Amino acid sequence: MTLTLIGWVAAPRATFGESVGDVFRVAVQAWLVGHHVGFAVPGGSVGMLPLGLVVLPGLLLYRAGRRLAQHCWLPRLRNTFSAALALAGPYAAISGTLALIGRTEVVRPGVLQALVAGFVLAFLAGGLGVLRQLLRDKRLGWSRMLELMPARSRSLLVGTASATATLLLAGTVLFFTSLLLNIGEAVEVTRGLSPGWVGGVLLVLTQLLYLPNAVIFGMSYAVGPGFAVGTGTMVAPTGVALGPLPQLPMLAALPESGPAPLVSLLALAAPFIAGGVGGAWTLRSAPAVVSEAAPLWGFVCGLTTGVLCAVLALLAGGPLGGERLVDVGPSPWQVGLVTALQVGVTAAVTAWVANWLHFRRSAQEQAERDAPDRAAPVPARQSTESGAGAGADSRGRRRWPIRLSWPSLPLRLRWGRAAAREEADAEELYGITYEAWRSEESSVEATPDVGERDASRKV
56: closest CA among 40, 35, 71?
A: 35
Per-residue pLDDT of 168-208, as tens digits, reads 999 999 999 999 999 999 999 988 888 888 788 888 998 99
Per-residue pLDDT of 314-347, as tens digits, reads 999 989 887 788 889 999 999 999 999 999 999 9
CB contact at 8 A, 272 and 342:
yes
CB contact at 8 A, 147 and 77:
no
> Quick one: average pLDDT of 145-158?
84
Per-residue pLDDT of 431-445, as tens digits, reads 444 444 444 444 444
Q: Is the pLDDT of residue 120 over 80?
A: yes
348: closest CA among 281, 297, 305?
A: 297
> Cβ contacts of residue 345 below 8 Å, gap of 6+?
275, 299, 302
- The domain locations on the chain are 1-148, 150-366, 412-444
249/199 Cα distance (integer angstroms): 13
Per-residue pLDDT of 416-429, as tens digits, reads 444 455 444 444 44
Total-model pTM? 0.76
Per-residue pLDDT of 44-79, as tens digits, reads 889 899 999 999 999 999 999 999 999 888 888 888
Gyration radius (Cα) of the chain, Å: 39
Burial 299-336 (b: 16+ CB within 10 A, else e): bbbbbbbbebbbebbbbbbbbbbeeebbbbbbbbebbb
The more confident residue out of 152 and 442 is 152
